[in-house]
Amino acid sequence: MKRTLATISLALGIALSTGVAMAQTPAGGTVVTAGSIEISGRFARASLPNAPVGGAYMTITNTGPNDDRLLGVTTAAGVVDLHEMSMSNGAMSMQMLHDGIVIPAGETIVLAPSGLHMMISPLAAPLEQGETLDMVATFEHAGDVPLTFDILALNARSYPEAEQTK
């Protein structure tokens, strides 16, 4: 994976100034903690060269006694919308979640392909496997949380298994 010292230093500086903590997992990934919110398994799928959209995914755990809400996500790669895909009468449909995603107290919400996800559109440039994507997630209570997403294969379904088990 290509990561520059400047990118890592910038992320660390933002994290320290916003009260965000990062912990290394056994698989070499990171769990980012902001207040009672823990974010792991962050990845985006590589995109085709001229694809106008990309997808990003993560696992969010709320360890606190109160609900929180993912209000939105920003990135220089394009506009990020929160979406949900679901089956209705045998057909898959997708809807934008204008009110964000509630993260109930003591629960885990998984953003994954064919379910809750972040759609980036239009892409400023293709998402290339092996690169990373910087984003900022905004929560109602946890605030702004800087995140780095690994860009995996075009058909990736989840972050590598070892990362999910922490």
Q: What is the pLDDT of residues 49-75, one digit of tens each?
A: 899 999 999 999 999 999 999 999 999
pTM beyond 0.85, yes or no? no
Q: What would the CATH number be for the domain defined by 5-157?
A: 2.60.40.1890
At residue 88 the predicted structure's pLDDT band, cuts being 50, 70 and 90, is confident
Residue type, 137: A
- Please report which confidence band the pLDDT of residue 86 belongs to, taking 50, 70 and 90 as the band edges: confident
Per-residue pLDDT of 128-145, as tens digits, reads 999 999 999 999 999 999
Q: What is the pLDDT of residue 29?
A: 60
Distances from the Cα of 82 to the Cαs of 72, 91, 121, 159, in angstroms?
7, 20, 11, 19
First to last CA, the chain: 20
Question: How far apart are the C-alpha atoms of 83 and 66, rounded to whole Å?
Answer: 23
H-helix segments, the chain: 5-18, 161-164
Q: Is 122 exposed, middle or buried (0-12, 13-18, 19+ CB in 10 A)?
A: exposed
> What ranges do the domains of the chain cover?
5-157
